Amino acid sequence: MNTPQLPPVEWPESAWRTAISHVRAGRRMAPARWPDDARCALALSFDCDHETAELGSGGQAVGRLGWAEFGRRVGVPRILNLLQRYDAKASFFIPAVAALIDPDEPRRIVREGHEVGVHGWIHENTSTLDAATEKAMLVRSRDTLEQITGQRPTGHRAAYWDLSENTMRLVAELGFAYDSSMMADDDCYELVLNGTPSGLLEIPVDWVRDDAVYLSFNRAPPARPYASPEQVRDIFIREFNAAFDDGGLCQLVMHPFVIGYRSRIWILEEVLRHARSRGKVWIASHDAVSKHVHASCPA
């Protein structure tokens, strides 16, 4: 996907049409019914970047590595215990290096009935990689997670949600059932690559449904929390309520080193408690959602 070396106002129509059609949202894949006659589906996901949040950008700052370790030591156990209390299943997207640092973590996640998905090798920005390197990293990441957990990952989420022009083609070619890195809908949809339906399901994310954009702190690039935990809870619950009313999907993204603190973990508990109070809600992993959607909306 190459655009002419011209200012965008001078691009020919073929250039911008090629750019927007490279990866496009295809047919909406919203099931008419959810399992067990649930009114809606709630798909919780946790990006376990841990130390690779620093390592993947080339950093080795001791303090930031220690901060990231909080997500492993404290955040993930708190999340798993809470999910168990509410009989809820979820997806954990883990960079392969993070899994290699402490293999017991992904093993516990799988042992307790949750999903582990691919989230890069070392939380690298795939938009900076050539096609051969990106494919090699995808294969290494998938195979490493399978070796550690005994389960072959079916889902992919790009680190930083940054994609190269090759990412979706490679994810489809390597046989992943779904991706969860794009933002073209609230409900699932099929990805269309260069005008051709790919068969690859997108379980869409969005910054609105991500805890880090509201609560994270970073010096470079600078980021400061700008919302209170109460405000984040209200946003997440409003997203859920709208999905419940529509009979659709509510997908949330959280990070153990963001949501895992004592003053924040209650946000997740409030979402779970509220979801259970509304009636029949299917709280499932992304893999389970993918299987149900594929079965309900065949090509």
What does the pLDDT look like over 71-84, one tens digit per residue?
999 999 999 999 99
Residue 222 or residue 19, greater confidence: 19
The yes-or-no verdict on residue 192 having pLDDT over 80 is yes
CB 122 within 8 A of CB 161: no
The yes-or-no verdict on residue 223 having pLDDT over 90 is no
Cα–Cα distances in Å, from 184 out to 103, 156, 191, 230, 291? 34, 17, 10, 27, 20
- Residue 287: its pLDDT value, please? 98
pLDDT band at 218 (very low <50, low <70, confident <90, very high): confident
Average pLDDT of the chain to the nearest whole number: 95
- The residue whose two tokens read 């979820």 is 90
- Residue 21: its pLDDT value, please? 93
pLDDT band at 90 (very low <50, low <70, confident <90, very high): very high
- Residue 27: its pLDDT value, please? 97
In CATH, the architecture of 25-296 is Alpha-Beta Barrel (3.20)
- Residue 34: its pLDDT value, please? 98
Q: What is the pLDDT of residues 27-51, one digit of tens each?
A: 999 999 999 999 999 999 999 999 9
The yes-or-no verdict on residue 2 having pLDDT over 70 is no
Put residue 230 in one of left, alpha, beta given phi > 0 → left and psi -120 to 50 → alpha: alpha
Task: In whole angstroms, give the CA distance from residue 144 to residue 121.
Answer: 9
Cα–Cα distances in Å, from 297 out to 26, 32, 289? 13, 9, 12
The yes-or-no verdict on residue 1 having pLDDT over 60 is no
Task: In whole angstroms, give the CA distance from residue 179 to residue 273.
Answer: 28
- Residue 125: its pLDDT value, please? 94
Q: What is the pLDDT of residues 148-161, one digit of tens each?
A: 999 999 999 999 99
% of the chain residues with pLDDT over 70: 98
pTM: 0.96
